[in-house]
Structure 1
């Protein structure tokens, strides 16, 4: 993970994974899928919706559906202050 990703995580970004189902341009009865991942901000998901707009404008395969999930990688409850450490044999 580079510094850019760490900065995004500390600013509240999380990993968004989306699966796009789309019709093949030449075979409209065939559905294909494409998986996309990017760091994005919930609940607005500006990068995801920007990519959906790009798909609709630039890619020939019309979208059938999109399903996505979002996970914040760094949450306040995941950090704790460790005061001491015990080592056993």
Structure 2
């Protein structure tokens, strides 16, 4: 699942509350340690960085076999140089 969030200082804690409620209702659990993030025009606060077990240094993430980067130019090179079936 790809999620787009604004103002991570407030939306990330709220998202994790919703995910915890989902876990309580469904029994499914999100492995936060495997959670990937990529941020555009955002520098996480110290509280956010230290409060959540997320890799904040990610420059690209892999989603459905495609690497998604912060740079549109690199993303287009990646998409154009590979053949996807």
Q: TM-score, normalised by structure 1?
A: 0.28
Structure with more contact order per residue of length (Cα contacts < 8 Å, sep ≥ 6): 1
Q: TM-score, normalised by structure 2?
A: 0.29
Structure number with higher strand proportion? 1
Structure number with higher helix proportion? 2
Structure number with bigger Rg: 1
